[in-house]
Structure 1
Amino acid sequence: MVKNEQLKEKQLFPVGEANVAYQDFFVGQSYLSMLVNEPDVNVGVGNVTFEPGCRNNWHIHHAGYQILLVTGGEGWYQEEGKAAQHLVPGDVIVTKDGIKHWHGAIKDSWFSHVAITAGTPEWLEAVSNALYDAL
């Protein structure tokens, strides 16, 4: 049984379209709705929705940071060398400059968060199935 399936249709912010622009950096299907589209604002703000089991690759934000505001479903966040954190609505994650990390949905739940991102991301290897399946 899939949990939080309503997130694919209705949530606090628009679900958006299939995340084609970043599909090479995700395992599974995600959706992206950019919430701030002001050319003079140097921070990205987007609603990211993950289908069950979807997660992004390990990545690092250079000369910036990322703030995740969890708005729906259940997910994971993990920094390299640390235990994964189970995420639920209301959780806030702050990833500082240079920290290798990943985030995504748990195996049987949709997941959404607003990502506030500054700086340049460096996309790295996919999260292994062994690591993910062990959570």
Structure 2
Amino acid sequence: MVAQSGVVPASHSIACVVAIAVGGDHCIWKISPGESAQSWIDCTSVAVACVISAWSARNGQSWAHRLLKLQVCDQDSNLTISGLRMGVREIAHLTDFASLFIGFLWPLWDGRGQTFADKIMGTTVTRKQ
């Protein structure tokens, strides 16, 4: 279900992506004219968000990272990560949400300044030089 703000809740987004991957009943192409279009809207929203995210995330930077002059780097090699790894990192941010947002506050007392998603993905956020 799309929230009032027009954002698809993360839990429904993941369920939609999984349904598309395994050919479930919530796939865009399986909705009959008599069914609610909500699933179609949700799946389309997820697809558009994924395309925009993958297209805009280059050199370890999303548009927001570019604005703030930050970049996401591998914690071991300190090289910027790919757009695909940025996308997987975004999905890993679900752990930050699932922990009642503690994952987003974790960098305040973590030695490396990493969220739970950064720990999972082995990344750090640094100032771009």
Q: TM-score, normalised by structure 1?
A: 0.23
Which is higher, the Rg of structure 1 or of structure 2?
2
Determine which structure has the larger strand proportion and give its number.
1
Q: TM-score, normalised by structure 2?
A: 0.24
Structure of greater relative contact order (alpha carbons < 8 Å, 6+ residues apart) = 1
